[in-house]
Amino acid sequence: AQTVTQSQPEMSVQEAETVTLSCTYDTSESNYYLFWYKQPPSRQMILVIRQEAYKQQNATENRFSVNFQKAAKSFSLKISDSQLGDTAMYFCAFMNTNAGKSTFGDGTTLTVKP
C-alpha cells in the first residue's frame, strides 16, 4: 500500500516571499502520478499541479513548481511570490496508474501573512 507523508502540519510565509512544502511517499510501483491540491477556507478542493513519475522534468504552473526526486521519493511544492489567496491547506497525493485511486497526505496548513 502507498503512503504519503507531509511532515509540516503548519507553515507561514510573508506575502511576496517563497515557501516550500514537503511531501514524501512510499511505493513499490515504478509508474505513478503525484499531485498537489489546495483547500482554501471555502472548503473547495482544487488541483494545483500534477507530475508524472516517468518524466524527469519538474512540473510548473505559474507561481507553483515542484521538486520531484524519484529516487528519494520526494515531491515538494514551491510557491513563489506568495499571495494572500494562497492561504489554504495543501494536500500531496499519490495516484496509482491502474486503479486511479489517490492516497492523500495529512495536509499542510499554509498561512500567508501581509
107 binds another protein (CB under 8 A): yes
**Smaller CB distance to another protein: residue 85 or 101?**
101
Q: Of the listed pieces 16-24, 36-44, 67-75, 80-88, which binds another protein according to CB under 8 A?
A: 36-44
Sequence-ordered list of residues with C-beta below 8 angstroms from that of 28, at least 6 positions apart, any chain? none
Helix (H, G, I), strand (E, B) or coil at 98: coil
Residue among 92, 72, 77, 90 at smallest CA distance from 4: 92
Q: Which residues make up the interface to another protein (CB under 8 A)?
A: 33, 35, 37, 39, 43-47, 50, 52, 89, 91, 95, 97, 99-104, 106-107
